[in-house]
Structure 1
Amino acid sequence: MYNTVFLFDTSVTTGNLGDFIIMDAVKKQLRQMFPNSFFVSTSTHDTIGKNSKAIQKKAEYSFIGGTNLLTDRFLGRNHAQWHIGVRDYSVEGSVGIGLGWQSYGRKNRLIDLPLKVAQKEIYKHALSSRFLHSVRDSYTQKRLQDMGIESINTACVTMWELTPDHLNRIPKGKADTVVTTVTEYCQTPEYMKVYERLMTDLIKNYSRVKLWIQSPGDIEIFQKLNLGNSSKVEFIAPNLQSYDDALDDSVDYIGTRLHAGIRALQHGRRTLIIEMDNRAREIAKDTNLPTISYRQIDKVQEFINSDQEMDIRIPFSQISKWKHQFV
């Protein structure tokens, strides 16, 4: 009855508060599934210690939570998103919940082939062959299948409570205040022009503009922007509670951070996510998540000034199928 559930936690040792949004949803779902269990966590962003390995080995279930964790080429134990390598063969049988693929990149040079074989073997050993894994999009499902690892496309775990009733209560019309985000690891001149256009349009169309600092480098991006009225932009402190407090008010969300946008949807806020990489794009293909490419930044004003229905399609039957493996 009081068994142990072990969790590889992507919100430990991270500078990205989006990981906290993911893990908040992961822990909520797992605690609903295992209400009488002990939960023990370790970091994915750091190498796995001896004590963690001993607990994981004895745990009845082991889960690894969310984010763009997976890749097809071994990058080295200390450089991968999940710090695991050939020295961690005692780690086995973990079940993915909302797993995602890191990028579209396929490394097919001759020098990459041994590294691809190594990564495949590491994943096939560390990830469960007994249970189907939950993945966030069809692309991740296909890449895992290519490795011989079976999964179910459940969408991101942060979206599992976006029921039709919840989505129908989201206002369709424009709010007076907008919450926005930028993305620290996207700083090419092309991306910087996108941020300038985004912020300019938000300042023009909303009475108040609030910028949430999801990662330390986000503030540096804002300081580099050439904005005519930057003093109008208010800052939301870099913690999840402050962000939740901002979302408790009547606001829209229009920004580049995927999970900040999904958090806004959780709070019942009209949302548009600017796709900066493959994550939002792939989830949107499967679920109709409200997104546009950063190359379509000129469409933001159209979104702002027209009624918008959050017509998101969550695969509840797939989620149920994944959960019932553990009943």
Structure 2
Amino acid sequence: MKSVVIFNTAVSSENLGDQIIMESVNREINSVIDKNTFLLDLSTHAGFNRKYNNFLKESDFSIIGGTNILSSQFNLVSWRNQFCVGYWNSKYMHDVILIGTGWGSKNKEVKPNAKKFYKKILSKEAVHSVRDSMSLKKLTDIGIKNVVNTGCPTLWQLTPEKCQKIPRNKSSKVVTTITDYLMDYEKDFLMLRTLISEYEEVFLWVQGSEDYKYFCSLPLEITQKISLIPPRLSSYDEFLNNNEVDFIGTRLHAGIRAMQKNKRTLIISIDNRAREMGKDFNLNILEREHMSELKNIINSSLETSVELAKNEIEKWRNQFKP
């Protein structure tokens, strides 16, 4: 029986967006990998002990699922890496396949240790999938050419038919998000104040472990006018399923989840993730620096027209066919 390791980016994550990503990653894995294959999940956040090294060594291949897990640095000590793998674990890794992964930082030069690590663990025969053109360039620049830009798997079912079901005109309610690790009090205050002035009801989903703490640090004149959605993906889904609502916020995958649920969505870009994917796949993006434009966008017709990389997606899927 074949065995495959799934490097699960949602286990032990402080960001519930990783659960959204892994749901789509698992959907794709289950659709392309033979049902008789034994799958073992290992956490990319918490790492794993020597007990699993032999399973890694004997596995047929491994898959890394989404997120900004690729990095320009690789430290010998696992806990210092974005992907919690160190030198000793990496010795047992082989034939790793990427699906919808991204690069954590655009501007940093890829260090020799990182280049060596990726060239050692990544499959030289398989087709790797990354989430944006910047990540594609990073890998090709270090000599890894068997890569296609598919976008994140969370986008793969946002077909033209699906996008046509998403309203263009504003709702009376809006759900938003803020981001604990890239705070901008002035711009986030302006975003929330604009939402309060333009919508009858404003809700905030707590996606990150420190988002609530950040929310509580904002002025009471803002926070007392916003209703909280509990920090569970199931709670967010239930809210989206039972409300006609727009999404406007800084969390990329909270926005993509809203699109999956047929909600009018505007993602406030605060880093390279939303910026690069927005550019590549025509997502509705507003840079946080341009927050003064938000009111006009809210009150305008907003079309959703995601441009899927159909050929690249099929190329990644088809490699698993017998």
TM-score w.r.t. the length of structure 2 is: 0.94
Cα-to-partner distance string for 1:261-288 (whole Å, 9 max, x where unaligned): 0111111110000111100001111111
1:196, 1:227 within 8 Å by CA — same for their partners in 2? Answer: no
Q: How does 1:68-107 map to 2 (within 5 A)?
A: 68-75=68-75, 76-87=77-88, 88-107=90-109
- 2:27 is paired with a residue whose SS is helix
Partner of 2:266: 272
Q: Does residue 1:262 correspond to 2:256, yes or no?
A: yes
Give the one of 306, 309, 314 matched to 2:303: 309
Distance 2:237 2:38 in 1: 27
2:12, 2:46 within 8 Å by CA — same for their partners in 1? Answer: yes
1:85, 1:122 within 8 Å by CA — same for their partners in 2? Answer: no
Partner of 1:17: 16
Q: How does 1:284-303 map to 2 (within 5 A)?
A: 284-303=278-297
Distance 1:175 1:38 in 2: 46
Q: Does residue 1:145 correspond to 2:147, yes or no?
A: no
Q: What one-letter code is carried by the residue in structure 1 that aligns with 2:99?
A: I
Which stretches in structure 1 are left out of the alignment for 5+ residues? Answer: 109-115
2:216, 2:223 within 8 Å by CA — same for their partners in 1? Answer: no
Root-mean-square deviation (Å): 1.4
Partner of 1:113: none
Distance 1:218 1:106 in 2: 27
Q: Does residue 1:192 correspond to 2:185, yes or no?
A: yes
TM-score w.r.t. the length of structure 1 is: 0.93
C-alpha deviation, 1:226, in angstroms: 2.2
C-alpha deviation, 1:198, in angstroms: 0.6
Distance 2:107 2:81 in 1: 14
Distance 1:234 1:165 in 2: 32
Q: Does residue 1:165 correspond to 2:161, yes or no?
A: yes
Partner of 2:27: 28
| Residues 107/317 of structure 1: CA separation in 2 closer, same or farther (3 Å cut) | closer
Partner of 2:236: 243
C-alpha deviation, 1:311, in angstroms: 1.4
Q: What one-letter code is carried by the residue in structure 1 that aligns with 2:18?
A: D
C-alpha deviation, 1:229, in angstroms: 4.6
Partner of 1:136: 131
Distance 2:172 2:4 in 1: 44
Distance 2:150 2:56 in 1: 25
Cα-to-partner distance string for 1:170-223 (whole Å, 9 max, x where unaligned): 011111111100000012xxx111110011011111111110001121112211
**What percent identity do the matched residue pairs reach?**
39
Q: Does residue 1:232 correspond to 2:231, yes or no?
A: no
C-alpha deviation, 1:227, in angstroms: 5.1
C-alpha deviation, 1:107, in angstroms: 4.4
2:78, 2:86 within 8 Å by CA — same for their partners in 1? Answer: yes
Distance 1:196 1:279 in 2: 22
Give the one of 221, 240, 256 matched to 2:214: 221
2:69, 2:102 within 8 Å by CA — same for their partners in 1? Answer: yes
Q: What one-letter code is carried by the residue in structure 2 that aligns with 1:96?
A: L
- 1:68 is paired with a residue whose SS is coil
| Residues 224/146 of structure 1: CA separation in 2 closer, same or farther (3 Å cut) | same
Distance 1:19 1:192 in 2: 25
Distance 2:296 2:52 in 1: 50
C-alpha deviation, 1:6, in angstroms: 1.4
2:95, 2:121 within 8 Å by CA — same for their partners in 1? Answer: yes
Q: What one-letter code is carried by the residue in structure 2 that aligns with 1:7?
A: I
Cα-to-partner distance string for 1:11-36 (whole Å, 9 max, x where unaligned): 11111101111111100111111251
1:270, 1:310 within 8 Å by CA — same for their partners in 2? Answer: yes
1:13, 1:43 within 8 Å by CA — same for their partners in 2? Answer: yes
Distance 1:234 1:38 in 2: 43
Distance 1:271 1:78 in 2: 36
Partner of 1:51: 51
Which stretches in structure 2 are left out of the alignment for 5+ residues? Answer: none
Give the one of 176, 180, 205 matched to 2:172: 176
Distance 1:171 1:268 in 2: 8
Q: What one-letter code is carried by the residue in structure 2 that aligns with 1:244?
A: D
Distance 1:302 1:105 in 2: 32
Matched length:
316
